[in-house]
Amino acid sequence: MKAMVLGVGAIGSVTAQVLAGSDEFDKVILGARNPEKGKRLEKKLSSDKVTTKRVDASDVNAMVKAFKGLDIVLNLAIPRFNFNIMEACEKAKVNYADTAWDIAIDKTPPGGICKKGPPSFLYLKKDKAWKKMGLTGMLGIGCDPGLSNIFARMASDRMDKVDRILIRDGDNGYVEGYDFAPLWSPETLIEEVLMPATYYADGHYRKYGSFENKEIFDFPDGVGKIPIYNVAHEESETLATYIGDVLGKGCNYQDFKIALGDEYVDAIKMIGKLGLDNPNKINVKGTMVAPRDVVNAALPDPSQLGHLSKGQCAIGALVEGEKNGRKAREFIWTSLDHQKCWKSWKNSATAWSVGVPIGIAAILFAQGKIPDKGVYPPEMLPAEPIVKMLPKYGMNCKEKKL
């Protein structure tokens, strides 16, 4: 099969590495807005099946031409381009997968109800049309979202009824020599943390304010007790609907919380106060620039920080419900050590844990083990084959009944 990895940052480089080492793909094209960056990755991968092509995700017609003849496009670009990329896949008749979608398009204020549903519904509306075209569109198949959704589904399948689904992302990692250095897209981090956080309660998708509901969560595998906050994230836009309604398990409450150290919270709050999170261009001494792009350019490239990353991460789903008339509570998670990951795979645990699952999904798709057509979230993917492949890439799936 032939695949394009669109976006060659920290996560895209991991996915390209997975596909380049697979037997299922004989051609892996690195789609890069900056071909020089793609060529550097191509040289690093050192595989004759890997080539680079300049692709601009803002140009649908150009992407249609670039996608012709491919079997699948793996989108690791900034989520605001997802609709463009999916449109190009439709016109080129190519299958699709991504690790995130554009949650920023929802402008519901804190305390409000998402009256038209969350942004995920706009993508999922494509399901019927894609089934008719015979195309597969896998949304959000990274680590979180992705594995976190799959773990939530696994735990829910073991219960008769589900009450709460809590996605928890813990990381005590740091980057040597930097006070503030995100290990994934700084643009995405700043956007997610500052916007109101989606959660599900009382039959509606609702919004918390940013940095709300701080708590101390005790994560396993050396991560320990660290502060977590509600943050806008993709899981909180699909799990209650698909596990609660589509699968009939019910769900009264669902949210997402992530670990944020005090220095991160202070830095991101200041970026917001100064208006440096603004994605729109402003006039600066005669030059039009977006403040957020300046912040992004000023921070170190996450794909170049793996060797300096230290600490552990653990991401999982805590599901509470009922089984045989008794209360049930289960936590399923994956964990990685940043330094061990670098030594084994030459990547940070953050990039590796997101880039591997979409690579696995692509391989399973090529093997015919993901046959379903249409557009759907990760909790609707077959869990067993994905989980079984994790150890091949140094990842794990752990379970604990509480």
pLDDT in tens, 247-280: 999 999 999 999 988 877 888 888 888 888 888 8
Indicate which CATH number applies to the domain containing 291: 3.30.360.10
Residues 88 and 176 in one domain: no
Number of domains making up the chain: 2
Residues 165 and 78 in one domain: no
Tell whether 12 is covered by a domain.
yes
Q: How far is CA 209 from CA 101, 107, 194, 396, in A?
A: 20, 12, 8, 33
Tell whether 81 is covered by a domain.
yes
pLDDT in tens, 44-77: 998 999 999 999 999 999 999 999 999 999 999 9
Residues 210 and 299 in one domain: yes
pTM of the model: 0.92
The residues that bridge with 321 in the sheet, in sequence order, are 162, 328
> Do strands 398-401 and 309-310 pair parallel, antiparallel, or not at all (unpaired)?
unpaired
Q: What is the pLDDT of residue 248?
A: 94
Q: How far is CA 297 from CA 134, 181, 293, 301, 347, in A?
A: 40, 12, 6, 8, 21
Residues 207 and 92 in one domain: no
Cis peptide preceding 145, ω within 30 of 0: yes
Sheet holding 2-6, edge to edge: 50-54, 27-32, 2-6, 72-75, 95-98, 136-138, 374-376
Q: Domain end: 98, 126, 156, which one? A: 98
Q: What is the pLDDT of residue 184?
A: 66
Neighbours of 14 (CB within 10 A): 30
User: What secondary structure letter does DSSP report for 193?
Assistant: H
Three state DSSP letters for 85-133: HHHHHHHHCCEEEECCCCHHHCCCCCCCECCCCCCHHHHHCCHHHHHHH
1, two tokens: 């099969």
Check: CB of residue 253 under 8 Å from CB of residue 236: no
DSSP characters over 362-396: HHHHHTTS----EEE-GGGS-HHHHHHHGGGGT--
Q: What is the pLDDT of residue 297?
A: 86
Check: CB of residue 265 under 8 Å from CB of residue 211: yes
Report the distance separating Cα 181 and Cα 167, nearest Å: 24
Structural domain boundaries enclosing 224: 147-347+396-401
Tell whether 367 is covered by a domain.
no
Indicate which CATH number applies to the domain containing 30: 3.40.50.720
Q: What is the pLDDT of residue 178?
A: 81
Q: Which of 341, 378, 393, 354 is nearest to 189 (CA)?
A: 354
Report the distance separating Cα 187 and Cα 199, nearest Å: 22
295, two tokens: 């912040």
- Residues with Cβ within 8 Å of 381's Cβ and at least 6 positions away in sequence, in order, are 138, 141, 150, 361, 370
Side-chain-side CA neighbours of 350 within 13 Å: the count stands at 26
Tell whether 366 is covered by a domain.
no
Q: What is the pLDDT of residue 186?
A: 74
Amino acid at 105: I
Tell whether 264 is covered by a domain.
yes
Residues 64 and 164 in one domain: no
Q: Is the Cα dihedral 216, 219, 225, 229 positive or negative?
A: negative
pLDDT in tens, 364-379: 999 999 999 999 999 9
110, two tokens: 């804190």
Check: CB of residue 13 under 8 Å from CB of residue 350: no
Tell whether 385 is covered by a domain.
no
Neighbours of 284 (CB within 10 A): 10
Residues 175 and 305 in one domain: yes
Residues of the chain whose pLDDT is less than 50? none
